[in-house]
């Protein structure tokens, strides 16, 4: 019988973008070569009909239930992501309809446990080696984010016990994994490594977005520089321009008429000077309008978001370095475990070979004649096959039989 697998990972604000990219396949993954692009179209989300913004959806869930006025901490766990799956053989035994029913029933189980209103997404991936579901739970309880209380150790142990039982009642042949087994430890390590890969993948993609945004900003700066070169560096003085003079002739009864010259307050300019002034005015108007237009575009908002993003990336980089150090130490332990297991397997193979030889000699001593021995020993082999098909005892018998055939052939 196959094992039910449920893994949980904690997601903070800076993790969500990378997980969003991975789950919704919004960017090409560089860290997961197992993704089959031709099958990506078969992925689906049981909660959302189309792609969503994880940060915005999580914020909506929190704000709709939050009772206090205190702001959410920057380092708070916003989502507990559950990975639901089993081994490849389990899914190969299911029809397409049964497989979808498995994930739907799993999502119902968690929705009833933690509240459908708190499930942000339930994405099923069919384009990797084994079908699996990413289900994101926002740990809201009593109007507060309570990740430590909702998903404590007791709750995780409850999940490992109750989820397989629930799925068995629904007709799926699954059992609980062996608690504390080497397989469970290795599986947990693989999961941690995959989660780190996803976060690194998301980090690379965010950095690429930041680079594109920086290029847009530099392009706009260049445009402003080109326009500003048309504007004067200093205020233009009108002292060099000729003032308009109005001449008034006042006749007199006696003598010559009086000629009076008065300044009108206007200036007289040449066509060339007029063209230059018009160019300055037009350039100033263009800069003013373009500035006002840019204030209403996403570029300014993106620039502000980019500054925030740099801060988040810096924090995420620190977290990833810590996680990387933890993974390095864990991997050393895993490698040690693997070496120990390999040595133990080698010893067991040798022991089984001795058991086989001893069993063969034991049967031979207690039977009379070659035919009787072959019949009794064949019956023993058949019983072992039923108990452990394809096991090491059967392999030892095949190797021994092959050697005997070769000897007969050589004779």
The tens digit of pLDDT for each residue in 4-59 reads 989 898 998 888 988 898 899 987 766 566 788 899 999 999 999 999 999 999 99
pTM of the full predicted structure? Answer: 0.51
pLDDT confidence of residue 198: 56
Question: What is the per-residue pLDDT for 96?
Answer: 93
The mean pLDDT value for 238-242 works out to: 60
pLDDT confidence of residue 398: 81
How confident is the model at residue 48, as a pLDDT? 95
Q: Mean of the pLDDT values across residues 201-219? A: 65
Q: Return the percentage of the chain with pLDDT > 70, whole number.
A: 72
* CB-facing half-sphere around the CA of 259: CA atoms within 13 A: 4
Burial of 345 from C-beta contacts in 10 A (0-12 / 13-18 / 19+):
exposed
The tokens for 275 are 């063209």
pLDDT for 182: 45
Whether residue 186 has pLDDT greater than 50? no
The count of other CB atoms within 10 Å of the CB of residue 393 is 18
Show the tokens assigned to 22.
Answer: 């991975």
Phi then psi for residue 252, to 5 deg, are: -125, 155
| Least confident range of 75-89, 126-140, 241-255 | 241-255
> Could you say which of 3.30.930.30, 3.40.190.10, 2.40.110.20, 2.60.110.10 is the CATH number of the domain covering 2-177?
3.30.930.30
Residue 125's pLDDT is what?
94
Model pLDDT, residue 1: 73
Query: Does the structure show a pLDDT above 80 at 195?
Result: no
Share the mean pLDDT of the chain: 79
**% of the chain beyond a pLDDT of 90:** 28
For the stretch 348-364, pLDDT in tens is: 778 888 888 888 888 88
pLDDT band at 383 (very low <50, low <70, confident <90, very high): confident
DSSP E strands in 232-326: the ranges are 242-250, 258-268
Q: Which two tokens stand for residue 375?
A: 């019949």
299-344 pLDDT, tens digit each: 555 566 666 666 666 666 676 677 667 767 767 777 777 777 777 7
The DSSP 8-state label assigned to residue 37 in this structure reads G
* pLDDT value for 44: 96
pLDDT given at position 53: 94
- Taking the CA atoms of 310, 316, 318 and 320 in sequence, report the sign of the dihedral they define: negative
Token couple for 328 = 């390095």
**Contact (CB, 8 A) for 245 and 264:** yes
- pLDDT of 349 reads 78
Tokens of residue 390, six digits? 């394809």
Per-residue pLDDT at 193: 56
Domain ranges of the chain: 2-177, 307-410
Over residues 294-301, mean pLDDT: 58
The pLDDT value recorded for residue 275 is 76
Q: Dihedral through CA 112, CA 115, CA 117, CA 123, nearest 10?
A: -60
- Name which of 49, 55, 95 is nearest 72 in CA terms: 55
Looking at per-residue confidence, does 175 or 136 come out higher?
Answer: 136
Predicted local distance difference test score (pLDDT) of residue 315: 67
Model pLDDT, residue 300: 54
Q: What are phi and psi of 259, to 5 degrees?
A: -105, 120
pLDDT band at residue 396 under the 50/70/90 scheme: confident
pLDDT band, residue 180 (cuts 50/70/90) = very low
């Amino acid at each position: 019988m196959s094992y039910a697998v449920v893994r949980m990972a904690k997601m903070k604000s800076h993790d969500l973008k990378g997980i969003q990219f991975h789950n919704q396949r919004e960017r090409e993954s560089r860290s997961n070569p197992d993704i089959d692009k031709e099958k990506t179209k078969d992925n689906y989300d049981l909660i959302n009909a189309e792609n969503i913004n994880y940060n915005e959806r999580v914020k909506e869930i929190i704000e709709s239930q939050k009772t206090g006025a205190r702001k959410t901490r920057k380092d708070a766990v916003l989502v507990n992501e559950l990975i639901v799956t089993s081994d490849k053989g389990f899914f190969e035994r299911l029809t397409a309809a049964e497989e979808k029913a498995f994930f739907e029933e799993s999502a119902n189980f968690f929705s009833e446990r933690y509240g459908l209103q708190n499930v942000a997404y339930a994405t099923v991936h069919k384009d990797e080696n084994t079908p699996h579901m990413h289900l994101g739970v926002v740990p809201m309880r009593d109007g507060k984010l309570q990740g430590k209380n909702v998903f404590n150790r007791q709750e995780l142990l409850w999940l490992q016990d109750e989820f397989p039982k629930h799925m068995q009642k629904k007709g799926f042949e699954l059992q609980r994994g062996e608690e504390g087994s080497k397989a469970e430890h290795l599986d947990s390590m693989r999961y941690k490594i995959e989660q780190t890969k996803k976060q690194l993948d998301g980090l690379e993609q965010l950095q690429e977005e930041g680079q594109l945004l920086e290029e847009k900003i530099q392009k706009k700066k260049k445009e402003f520089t080109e326009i500003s070169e048309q504007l004067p560096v200093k205020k233009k003085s009108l002292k060099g321009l000729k003032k308009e003079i109005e001449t008034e002739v006042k006749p007199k009864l006696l003598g010559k008429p009086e000629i009076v010259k008065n300044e009108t307050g206007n200036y007289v300019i040449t066509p060339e000077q007029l063209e230059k002034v018009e160019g300055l005015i037009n350039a100033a108007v263009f800069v003013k309008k373009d500035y006002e237009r840019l204030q209403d575009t996403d570029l300014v908002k993106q620039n502000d978001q980019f500054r925030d993003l740099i801060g988040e990336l810096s924090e995420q980089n620190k977290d990833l370095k810590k996680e990387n150090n933890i993974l390095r130490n864990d991997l050393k332990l895993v490698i040690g475990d693997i070496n120990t297991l390999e040595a133990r397997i080698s010893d067991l193979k040798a022991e089984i070979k001795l058991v086989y030889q001893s069993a063969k000699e034991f049967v031979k001593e207690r039977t009379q004649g070659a035919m009787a021995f072959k019949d009794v020993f064949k019956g023993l082999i058949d019983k072992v096959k039923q108990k452990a098909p394809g096991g090491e005892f059967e392999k030892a018998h095949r190797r021994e039989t092959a050697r005997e055939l070769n000897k007969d052939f050589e004779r």
